Structure 1
């Protein structure tokens, strides 16, 4: 494990100045790393995908329990240094690591690994500004991902894991639920990072399940986006643009068994799928 001295020492060697643009806040507390690894449920049967390994604190923890780790790092300097860090601190685990220098938002299945190298678990300390898009992209792009644990901004963790009816429930909650069951897995203090961010973090765990409907995901997500674009409006009004008119929106909602006077925050992802299915049936010949 890397402690505060090792993290700062590596940063000095690399002349690294963490940037907000890349969301670079590095975990320097070994106990937090152990907690994340333990909570992830990763075992020797897993191929772990780690996004944003940075200096390698979490990478070392994951390598000690996983079958292998594919680390995706957008910063070329950090990507080049990571294998050496692992060789220096855990040489017996070095052959379990594969590093990909790429943007996780554009990562393809081929880059992530195929066959025996296809990732089965996602464990990452995600940059706050792209956390939700990264998770949704990876779940869509990598069907082999079965479970995972990500560290995100506390507010984002609440939104991702929120259930219908709550104030935090929104498009990230509904879209995440399309792919997986999602739950909060604990809070993380800002003081375990260097540099210290101005917000606290939270852990979010997920386990993949089958989609709630046999429909193209994009069509369901278009309903979700329309419903939450104007979340204070009733669904009859909020979906008017998507449906073509408020009258057609009401017709589709009633066909799906949804109250047109409700708001988007009341609907589950299965409800949104039912509205999308009603629209498919209502298409003109």
Structure 2
């Protein structure tokens, strides 16, 4: 039986947060309010659920492991009437039709799918996700390089690495430390809404990868002089690789190139 549970944990990328103080810090980082609707991803043994049901009015917890889902529902059946446990894959669920937040100690192997779901949820206001530290660092420009998914969503979403969690605070202990990645929807986009499609097209063009530089990629669609003027306004070196261009510089490039 124990071997079967361990196999399931590996298959589902289950590493449970075992330190209550850390769990409470994650929930505080999410800034959950008393009237909030929280969608929790992968509650597992309920380390975060314990604090979410205290702080939020409603919690919808999506758990793929039926054994854990049933146990969590039974534990809180009388204690937390605002909790609903859903058995199944979170990424196949429909987002709520009212404002909500996402919180979760998510399976490492599903991080990209879960982030994609969050970015596409119309009424999501924030997502606080425990991910592999390396993933959180790469998505927040920690190495002086920026990923396409971060840049593409930047006018509407902020990306922040809120902190690091030592791997020894999980059971079973994973091979790497974790990071707390926070996505927050901006109240107003950094560009006019009618310019967002142009911004995304520009990002797709820039990450198209021609000649190893952003300048070379942009010149496929814009006059050389206009590209030069945009790069100068954004303070981007002519030979700069696309990954080194910050999201803020992309916003400036869009303003100049689409003027």
What range describes the TM-score normalised by the shorter chain of this pair? 0.7 to 0.9
Q: Secondary structure at the match of 2:158?
A: strand
**Residues 1:136 and 2:116 are matched in the alignment:** yes
Could you say which residue in structure 2 is the equivalent of 1:236? 215
Could you say which residue in structure 2 is the equivalent of 1:195? 172
**Residues 1:28 and 2:7 are matched in the alignment:** no
Label 1:104 to 1:86 Cα distance change in 2 as closer, same or farther (>3 A).
Answer: same
Kept in 1, the 8 Å contact 2:155–2:251? The answer is: no
- Residue 230 of structure 1 and its aligned partner are, at CA, apart by 4.0
Structure 2 counterparts to residues 63-142 of structure 1, below 5 A: 63-87=53-77, 91-93=78-80, 95-109=81-95, 113-114=96-97, 118-142=98-122
Q: Secondary structure at the match of 2:120?
A: helix
- CA deviation vs aligned residue, 1:38-71 (integer Å, no higher than 9, x gap): 2222121211111111222211221111111111
Label 1:43 to 1:225 Cα distance change in 2 as closer, same or farther (>3 A).
Answer: same
Going by fraction, where is helix more abundant, 1 or 2? 1
Equivalent-residue separation in structure 2 for 1:102 and 1:253 (angstroms): 48
Unaligned stretches of 5+ residues in structure 1: 1-10
- Residue 128 of structure 1 and its aligned partner are, at CA, apart by 1.8
Query: What is the total number of aligned residue pairs between the two structures?
Result: 252
- Residue 215 of structure 1 and its aligned partner are, at CA, apart by 4.4
Kept in 2, the 8 Å contact 1:18–1:195? The answer is: no
Structure 2 counterparts to residues 255-270 of structure 1, below 5 A: 256=230, 260-269=238-247
- Residue 197 of structure 1 and its aligned partner are, at CA, apart by 0.9
Label 1:40 to 1:232 Cα distance change in 2 as closer, same or farther (>3 A).
Answer: farther
- CA deviation vs aligned residue, 1:9-46 (integer Å, no higher than 9, x gap): xx96x956444443211112222212212222212121
- CA deviation vs aligned residue, 1:229-276 (integer Å, no higher than 9, x gap): 649811133457xxxx3x747466347456553332343435445666
Label 1:250 to 1:196 Cα distance change in 2 as closer, same or farther (>3 A).
Answer: farther
Q: Secondary structure at the match of 1:261?
A: coil
Kept in 2, the 8 Å contact 1:170–1:228? The answer is: no
